Structure 1
Amino acid sequence: MLALIAGRGELPRAVVQAQDRPVLICALDGSPPDSVEASHVFALERLGGFLRVLRARGVRQVCLCGAVSRPRINWLRLDLATLALLPKIRRALKRGDDGALRIAISILEEAGFQVIAAHEAAPDLLPAAGCPTRVQPDDTARLAAAQGDRVSDAQGAQDLGQACVVTDTQVLAREDAAGTDAMLAGLGAAPGAVFYKAPKPGQDRRADLPVIGPATAQRAAQLGLAGLIIEAGGVMVLDRGAVIDILDKAGLFLWVRERPL
């Protein structure tokens, strides 16, 4: 059985809809999902007990999927089953997002679960390399892509965001802890710039793989961007048909780009 630890956003619903087997939808207390309904909510202070519940329900695979806020811990609420996990939990809470996710995955694996990525549970979310829109990227877009690669490397080294808005010569916006939507919401008109998104170099791709969807495409069109560049094999696309339709109507491209080695 597959258990989904679901957070905010449309990704959990897309993963559930892709399944032809039962799914146990779980959520961390304080980070309720908004696209699916959780049947089991657990507190981090009772993580050990939660892992026992998963085993009792016949869960063999776990998928971490959707945005989750860092929890506040009430150490007085720890159950006995969680005491042995306390050192790892405390280390995770002190790490950046990527480090915390690595520790969370290790806890699940040591408890006997296979951790699978959202794109492994729903492979159709990863588009093939190429440009499925009518408008195609030009030489300026290729130079902007190289700029995006440099920003991605720098952000990955600091465990920051996965997206940016760039031209061939400028960086107009960088994603931070507030996320992609907040980055785009805070950006004024940027005609000719491109939206770039890719996984952080070296990140564990079983969790927090980047996602775009219709809202991203719509905002890019409103900002007057030239197009969107996403890493092939590294960025999931929700409701791909709607994304392409929005971009085609606005005259933007979607470039699913294979990143140079």
Structure 2
Amino acid sequence: MAERLALIAGSGALVPEVIAAARNRGYELRLLTLGRRRDLRNLDPVPFSLADPQSAVDAIRAFGATSLVMAGGVSISDVARERLARFFRGGGRTDAVGDAGLSGLATDLARLTGARLVGVHEIAPELVAPEGHLAGPEPTDPQRDAAAYALSLARRAGGLDLGQAVVVAGRRAIAAEDIAGTDALLARVQRFRRLGLSANGASPLVLAKCAKPDQPMYVDLPAIGPVTVVRARRAGIGVIAVQAGATLLIERARLVAIADGAGITILGLAAADA
């Protein structure tokens, strides 16, 4: 009997890749969507709102899901976070939870539905970044050093339950991701360059993305895709460093082609290097 997989889909190109991987592995699939996705209408998705999490619980139970996976981007306001905390935890404190707290709420969702919570890396392991030189020019020793340093800073920022990314120039921190996400981080760096606050000369800018310390693998793994590389180029980024084994590469062939064309180096670094 095929395993029955409920997929909670957010925005972005990761979702179709996870759907394809699940089908290739023989899962029976039920799709639940946050927001409108016209590209998935042929899959008869069940739309739901974070304001009504009970509808998602009911749909997953009705499907008889044995596994549950979350994929894609989701923007969650503090009001929605409070509602989710109130729904899953019941009573008690109703203040907004951070990203670490949302991981706990995902566990509560699995408990309420009886489905086993799995990560995208289990459904589509081919999307996980390996260690080594992944795209673009071969990095210099100073670039490798800056990449490792940037990844260590991203790890430390994640320990504060901020974002998963930072930008550095050599050993100088330029900016860190916040609740607005990586795209907003790159837009800020682009603006800093226009103002002459950061240069891309002897110390090329490095974007690093790293999982937060103790972050469970089943929710919100860091990811980069073609759009990330395009926006990194606009921001003057010369190197992108990602945590090997814990970062998803979306539309990898396109990502590599764009990085090669833009002259942007992409490196996968082991957690020990972070």
Q: TM-score with structure 1 length normalisation?
A: 0.85
Which moved further from structure 2: 60-69 or 176-185? 60-69
Which residue in the other structure is 2:211 paired with?
199
Preserved contact between residue 163 and residue 175 of structure 1 (Cα < 8 Å)? yes
Q: Alpha-carbon deviations, 1:51-70, whole Å to 9, x = none?
A: 23322222111111122233
Contact (CA 8 Å) 1:12, 1:35: kept in 2 or not? Answer: no
| Aligned residues: CA RMSD | 2.7
1:4 aligns with 2:7: yes
Give the structure 2 partner of residue 51 of structure 1. 57
Measure the CA separation in 2 of the matches of 1:125 and 1:89: 39
Quick one: which amino acid aligns to residue 36 of structure 1?
A: L
Distance 1:13 1:102 in 2: 26
Aligned pairs for 1:171-250 within 5 A: 171-188=173-190, 189=193, 190-191=199-200, 192-250=204-262
Identity of aligned residues (%): 31
Q: State whether residues 259 and 266 of structure 2, in contact with CA within 8 Å, keep that contact through their aligned partners in structure 1.
A: yes
Unaligned runs of 5+ in 1: none
Q: Is residue 164–residue 196 contact of structure 1 (8 Å, CA) maintained in 2?
A: yes
SS at match of 2:241: strand
Corresponding pairs, count: 252
> Structure 1 stretch 91-100 or stretch 177-186: which is displaced more?
91-100
| Secondary structure, counterpart of 1:186 in structure 2 | helix
Change (3 A) 1:146 1:92: farther
- Match 2:20 to one of 17, 39, 48: 17
**Following TM superposition, by how much is the alpha carbon of 1:93 offset from its aligned partner in structure 2, in angstroms?**
5.8
Matched, 1:251 2:263: yes
Q: Deviations over 1:33-79 (max 9, x none)?
A: 57534621234565345423322222111111122233646x9xx9x
Counterparts of residues 20-99 of structure 1 (less than 5 Å):
20=23, 21-28=27-34, 31-33=35-37, 36-37=40-41, 39-44=45-50, 46-48=52-54, 50-70=56-76, 72=79, 85-88=87-90, 94-99=96-101
Displacement over 6 Å in runs of 4+: none
Aligned to 2:196: none
Q: Match of 2:219, SS?
A: coil
Cα shift readout 1:205-260 (whole Å, capped 9, x = no counterpart): 10000110011112222333221111101110111111111121222211111121
The alignment partner of 2:137 has SS state of coil
TM-score (norm 2): 0.81
Letter of the 2:57 partner, please give it.
Answer: L
Q: 1:35 to 1:138 in 2, by over 3 A?
A: farther
SS where residue 68 of structure 1 aligns? coil
Determine the C-alpha separation between the residues in 2 that align with 1:195 and 1:90: 40
d(CA) in 1 for partners of 2:5, 2:167: 36
Task: Tell me how far apart the structure 2 counterparts of residues 93 and 11 of structure 1 sit (CA, whole Å).
Answer: 30
* C-alpha distance in structure 2 between counterparts of 1:100 and 1:242, whole Å: 31
Q: Which consecutive unaligned segments of at least 5 residues does structure 2 have? A: 194-198
Secondary structure of 1:131 counterpart: strand
Cα shift at 1:162: 0.5
Instruction: Select between 84-93 and 201-210 the one with higher mean Cα deviation.
Output: 84-93
**Distance between the aligned counterparts of 1:259 and 1:187, measured in 2?**
25
- Cα distance in structure 1, aligned partners of 2:156 and 2:52: 36
Letter in 1 for 2:13: E
